[in-house]
Amino acid sequence: MEKGTYLLIEDQDVDIMIVEKMMDRIRPGLKAIVVRNGKSALDKLKEILSGNKEDFPGFIFLDLIMPLFDGFQFLDAYYREIYPIAPDLPVVVLSSSVHEKDKKKCLGYPFVKEYLLKPFNTNAFEELGV
């Protein structure tokens, strides 16, 4: 069984449950740190970076459409504030947006490794390599 964590930035309970179940099946033992918006995610990453770095996630799943502080705002802030400190932390975007411009914008960040469309399937998660 694997140890470690990943950060799941998602506001929908159903999607949180689906991601956690798929990850439990693919990488058992990996623990999700769940936050509901981009601001909370930035705060959590800063808290971990200033404290126990053993809790630092191995990767991030990011929903784009969220209230308060959405995925695009998170990506911009992450690029300025976290990426210079932790350049090897990959982000996987999880979105219902089929707009090519959204996908291109996300994949334009050097730390975004994949753009997955909802609804998810197990094969897409298995092929991630995170």
Listed in sequence order, the DSSP H helices in the chain are: 13-26, 38-50, 71-81, 100-107, 122-126
**Could you tell me how far CA 60 lies from the centroid of its own chain?**
3
Q: In degrees to the nearest 10, what's the CA dihedral of 15, 20, 22, 24?
A: -170
User: CA-CA distance, 24 to 47, in Å (whole number)?
Assistant: 25
Can you give the residue range of the structural domain that contains 24? Answer: 5-126
CA distances from 109 to 2, 16, 29, 61, 94 (A): 28, 24, 29, 14, 15
φ/ψ of residue 103, rounded to 5: -60, -45
**DSSP SS3 for 6:** strand
| CATH classification at residue 41 | 3.40.50.2300
pLDDT tens figures, 77-93:
999 999 999 999 999 99
Domain count, the chain: 1
**What is the pTM for the complete model shown?**
0.93
- Per-residue pLDDT tens listing for the chain (130 residues): 567 999 999 999 999 999 999 999 988 999 999 999 999 999 999 999 988 777 799 999 999 999 889 999 999 999 999 999 999 999 999 998 889 999 999 999 999 999 999 887 778 777 776 6
SS3 label, residue 11: coil
